Amino acid sequence: EAQVTQNPRYLITVTGKKLTVTCSQNMNHEYMSWYRQDPGLGLRQIYYSMNVEVTDKGDVPEGYKVSRKEKRNFPLILESPSPNQTSLYFCASSLSIRPAETQYFGPGTRLLVL
């Protein structure tokens, strides 16, 4: 089944404790991205990757890192999480970033930083 998977789905952590949220897609998509969704603010892009070893900042990259060593995986790293990073996170992928391509989203990761 074609899908985007994220792990963990739910995470409670404490300020400053490094964490990684994994994202994997099995559709051989070139383009992958991370979003956070907050009430009243909608979906905001954190980072995106056009292809392996090519990553770039989105609208809200501060406090996050990403890597794209393999085509299928695009982990999101919070080196020192803070409470303002409490949010719902979505990973998404598409075949490419040509304008007509559909974005496929993972199921989301709910993060609470205490």
Partner 1 sequence: RKEVEQDPGPFNVPEGATVAFNCTYSNSASQSFFWYRQDCRKEPKLLMSVYSSGNEDGRFTAQLNRASQYISLLIRDSKLSDSATYLCVVIDRSGAGSYQLTFGKGTKLSVIP
Binding site for partner 1 (CB under 8 A): 33, 35, 37, 40-45, 50, 56, 88, 90, 97-100, 102-103, 105-108
Query: Least separation, in Å, of the C-beta of 73 and partner 1?
Result: 18
Query: Least separation, in Å, of the C-beta of 14 and partner 1?
Result: 24
Cα–Cα distance, 104 to 72 (Å, whole number): 13
Residue nearer to partner 1 on the CB measure, 11 or 88 = 88
Residue nearer to partner 1 on the CB measure, 9 or 17 = 9
* Other Cβ atoms within 10 Å of 95 Cβ, number: 15
Residue nearer to partner 1 on the CB measure, 69 or 102 = 102
Which of 88, 95, 76, 100 lies closest to 25 in space, CA to CA? Answer: 95
What is the chain's length?
114
Cite the beta strand spans of 1-114 per DSSP E: 4-7, 10-13, 19-25, 31-38, 42-51, 54-57, 65-66, 76-78, 87-94, 104-105, 109-113
Query: Least separation, in Å, of the C-beta of 85 and partner 1?
Result: 17
Residue nearer to partner 1 on the CB measure, 63 or 101 = 101
Query: Least separation, in Å, of the C-beta of 59 and partner 1?
Result: 8
